[in-house]
Amino acid sequence: MDIEALHERGRERIGEFGATLDVRDAVVETAGAIFTRVYTEETQQGRSLTTVAAAALYVACKQEGAPVTSSAIADAADIEHSHLLRRSKWVQTEIGTPVDTFNPKPFVDEYANTLGLSDETRELARNVVTVATEEGVASGKSPSGFAAAAIYYAAKLRDETCTQDDVHEASGVSKITIRNRYQEQAEVVGDVTR
C-alpha cells in the first residue's frame, strides 16, 4: 500500500475515533495533519497505523485542550493503554512539540456543563485547580481526576447540590479518586470563597 493510501486510512481511523469520542472536527483535523506528518515511508515500518492514529488524536486533544483521556482513546482504538502512551511520546518527538499533558481546565468545563453547575462554581473550580497546581499537589495526577475533585470541592464551597456520585457519573472518575484529590486540594487551597 502506498503512503498516500496509508495516510487516507489513518485519517479515516482518526475520524472514527473522533466520532466515537465526540471530539470536535478541528481536533480531528489537527490529528490528521499530525498523523500525515509523522507516518512516513521511513517511520511506518514496525508501527501500527491504528496506534499511531490514536496517538496523533491524543496529542491533538492535548494541543487543542479537548477533554479526552488517554484511556478513552485507547478504548476507542481497541489498543493497549501503554502502547498509546509510548507512541504518543514518539509522536511528540517527531513533531518537535512537547505537549503539556496536565491540563485539567477543559475537564472542569466539561464536567460543569454536564452537571449543570453555575458559572461561579465553574470559575471557582478553575481557581482551585490553579492554586492546587501552584502548591504542587498536582504532580503525577490525572487531569480528569484532578478536575473532578475540583468540581466537587467548588460545588461544596458554593453550596450547590453536587455529590461525589454525581461527579463520578459525569466524569467516570472513581469516587475514591475524587475523595483523595479533594482532600489534597482542600489541605492546600482552604476556603477560597472568602
Q: Which domains does the chain have, with CATH numbers?
A: 3-95 (1.10.472.10), 105-189 (1.10.472.10)
Rounded CA gap, 66 and 39, in Å?
23
Which carries the bigger pLDDT value, residue 3 or residue 150?
150
Q: Using the structure block, give the residue that is written with the C-alpha cell 475523595.
A: 179
Cell readout for 166 is 454525581
pLDDT of the residue at 100: 65
Q: Give pLDDT, residue 101.
A: 65
pLDDT at 24: 92
What is the structure's pLDDT at 66?
87
Q: Tell me the C-alpha distance between 24 and 13, whole Å.
A: 15
Residue scoring higher pLDDT (184 or 193): 184
- First-residue to last-residue Cα distance in the chain: 63
The pLDDT of residue 194 is 47
Q: What pLDDT does 27 receive?
A: 93
Count Cβ neighbours within 10 Å for each residue of 32-63 and write b for 16 or more, e otherwise: bebbbebbeeeebeeeebbbbbbbbbbbbbbb
CB of 52 closer than 8 Å to CB of 35: yes
Mention every residue, 6+ apart, whose C-beta is less than 8 A from residue 40. Answer: 3
- Buried b / exposed e across 158-190, counting CB within 10 Å, b at 16+? bebebebebbbebbebeeebbeebbebbbeebe
Q: Report the share of the chain in percent with pLDDT over 70.
A: 96
Yes or no: say if 47 and 10 are a contact pair by the CB < 8 Å rule. no
Tens of pLDDT, residues 85-137: 999 999 999 988 776 667 888 899 999 999 999 999 999 999 999 998 888 88
pLDDT in tens, 143-187: 899 999 999 999 999 999 999 999 999 998 999 999 999 999 999
Across 13-17, 22-26, 100-104, least confident range = 100-104
Short-list 184, 87, 88, CA closest to 145: 184
pTM over 0.85: no
In this predicted structure, what is the pLDDT of residue 17? 97
Task: Report pLDDT for 55.
Answer: 95
pLDDT score at 124: 95
